[in-house]
Structure 1
Amino acid sequence: MLPYHLAANYPIYRAKAFKLHGVHSPFIFDLYHHVIQHDGHFAAYDLVENLREDLLQDNAKLEVTDFGAGPKAGNKHTRFVKDIVSASAKPAKYGQLLFRLVNYFQPNTIFDLGTSLGITTSYIASARKEGKVYTFEGCPNIAHVATQNFKKLGLENVQLINGNLDTTLPAQVAQVQQLDFAFFDGNHRYEPTMRYFNLCLTKHHERSVFVVDDLYWSAEMKRAWQEIKKHPQVLQTVDLFYVGLVFFRTSQPKENFTLYF
C-alpha cells in the first residue's frame, strides 16, 4: 500500500503522463526511448542484485544515527542490516534507471547524496568506472558496511564521505571544478533539499544531469519539486513520479515533461 502522499498524487501523475508518442522534444524522445524505457540487460544488474539479496539475509545489528527527515532525526538506535536495506535501498527498477542514465551521459564527477548500504551507489559507480563517484553517508556504521560492499564489487571509483551532509556537502562542492551528475536522496524535507540543490547548482554546466528522488514522498518534497521546475537555471525536467530528472540545456526550450515509467 502506498503512503498517503504517494497514493494521493499517483492518479494525477498517471492522468498527465505521456508515453513515447506524446513526446515532441528530440532530446527527450531519444532519452525516453533509449534510456528510460530501455529493457535490455546489463551484467552489472546481476552483481548489484546479488549483493542486495545477501544484505536482505544479513542479521547483523548496527547502531544507527539518523540524519534524515522526521521526528527520529539525530537519534541513535539499533537496526538489522536486512531491515535497513529493505527500507532504504531503491528498488531495482530505479537503481537500474540510474545505471542507464550514467551509462548514457558518461559523467566524470558524480555526487550521490545518500549512500545507505551502497546499493544505489553501486549501480551508479558500475555504469561509469572511469568517473569519480562521491557518495555521502551520515551514519559511520552504515558507511563502514557500504565501504565493504563497494570492495566486494570491485568499485574503486567510489569515495565515501562520512558525516553530516550539512557540513560534508559544502566542503566537497568547493573541491570539484564542475558537477556532471547528482542524485539527491539525502533528506526528504523542503529546506535541506533546496539548500543541497542550490549548492550543487553552483557547479553545474550545460550538460549536467540532476536526479531528485521521492518527488511525492511528502508535501514538502512536492513543494521542492515544483520550485525546482520553476528555477530559472532549470530548463528541462522529466517527472517519472518516484524520481525527477533535471537538465540545463540552453539549446532546448524550457519544458516540463511528465512521462510514464
Structure 2
Amino acid sequence: MLFQLQSFLSFLWQSKNEHGVHSPFVFALVTRCFYDKKKKPEYTHLKNYRKELLDNKNTITVTDFGAGSRVFKSPQRQVSKIAQTAGISPKRAELLCRIVQFFQPKSILEIGTSVGLATSALALGNPKAKITTLEGCPETSKIAKEQLQQSNFENVTTVTTQFETFFTSDQLDSDYDFIYFDGNHSKEATLHYFEHLVPTINNETVWIFDDIHWSSTMEEAWDIIKKHPKVKVTIDTFQWGMVFFRKEQAKEHFVIRV
C-alpha cells in the first residue's frame, strides 16, 4: 500500500489536464472523451449489470492464475464481494465505455473477464464490435457468461482458457483493434502478453493495461512497453496505461489526470 501511495503522489506531481497537452490527437481524446461529463443511456445499463452482480450472494471457488488478490484470503468468494471489490469501478466502467465509443473498434480482446463488469462496458461502447473475453477460472467465467447472456450482450464471446493456451491456438485473431489487459498483474506475464500480441496490431490499435502501478515490477513492465520501437504514444492515467501505435505520431508520453 505504501508503494502505491508513493506512486500516486508521484503521478499527481507529473500529471496534467488538457491544458498541458500539445498533441492534437491526445487533446481530442482528453477533451472529447476523458472529460466528457454528459450523461449517457449506456450508464444505466452498466449500473443495472453491476446491481445484478451485487445482489448475487452465491459463493464460488476462484482459481487464481494471476498475481493474486490483495483483498481475498480464501478461494471461496461471494459473487457480490468480487463485484464490489475486485471489479472495475463504476467511474472507470463509464470511462472505458466512452473510450470504446470514441475509437469504435471492430474487434476487441479482453484478457481477464472476472465477472464481466469491464466486459459490459466494452460491449456497450460498440454493440457492433466482435468481443472476445478470456477468463482462466471456470467458475468465474461461468458467472460472467450467464450474466452477459442475461443482459443480452450478444456481441460477446466468453472463452474459458488459460491465456497462454489461447495465444498459441488458432482462435487468436490476427487483427484486434482494441485490447484490454486485466488478467495478470505481473511484469513477466504483462511483457509476455505484449510480445505475443504485437503481431496483431494495426495503425489504429488501442491497448489498455490495467494496474500499471500495482507494484514496482509492473512499473518496470510499463517503462519497457513505453520504450518499445513500435509504440508511439502512451498515456498514464495512473490506473491505466494506454498504448497507441499510430505511425504518423511522434513518440511521446503523457501523464493525464482523469
Alignment of 1:11-90 (within 5 A): 11-70=9-68, 77-90=75-88
Q: By how many angstroms is 1:70 displaced?
A: 3.7
The residue that corresponds to 1:106 in the other structure is 104
Alignment correspondent of 2:169: 171
Q: Deviations over 1:29-79 (max 9, x none)?
A: 01100011111122121112122123223211112211111499xx98321
1:243 corresponds to 2:240: yes
Q: Quote the residue 1:189 is aligned against.
A: 186
Displacement of 1:152 in angstroms is: 2.0
User: Is the CA contact 1:162–1:168 (under 8 Å) kept in the aligned structure 2?
Assistant: no
| Cα drift, residue 191 of structure 1 | 0.5
Matched, 1:145 2:143: yes
> In 2, are the aligned partners of 1:188 and 1:220 still within 8 Å (CA)?
no
What is the Cα deviation at residue 163 of structure 1?
1.6
CA distance in 1, matches of 2:9, 2:16: 13
Q: Which runs of 4+ in 1 moved over 6 A?
A: none
Contact kept, 8 Å, 1:65 with 1:76, in 2: the verdict is no
Mapped to 1, the partners of 2:3 and 2:50 lie a distance apart of: 27
2:49 partner letter: L
Q: Which one-letter code corresponds to 1:5 in the other structure?
A: F
> Structure 1 22/146 Cα, relative in aligned 2: closer, same or farther at 3 Å?
same
Q: Distance in 1 between matches of 2:104 and 2:160?
A: 25
TM-score of the pair, normalised by structure 2: 0.95
Secondary structure, in 3 states, of the residue corresponding to 1:84? Answer: helix
Letter of the structure 2 residue corresponding to residue 226 of structure 1: D
The answer on whether the counterparts of 2:107 and 2:178 sit within 8 Å (CA) in structure 1 is yes
Moved more, 247-256 or 37-46: 37-46
Q: Give me the whole-angstrom Cα distance separating, in 2, the residues matched to 1:244 and 1:199.
A: 18
* 1:254 matched residue in structure 2: 251
What's 1:232 paired with?
229
State the alpha-carbon separation in 2 of the partners of residues 115 and 14 from structure 1: 29
Percent identity (aligned)? 34
TM-score by length of 1: 0.94
Equivalent residues, number: 256
- Structure 2: gaps spanning 5 or more residues: none
- 3-state SS in 1 of match to 2:98: helix
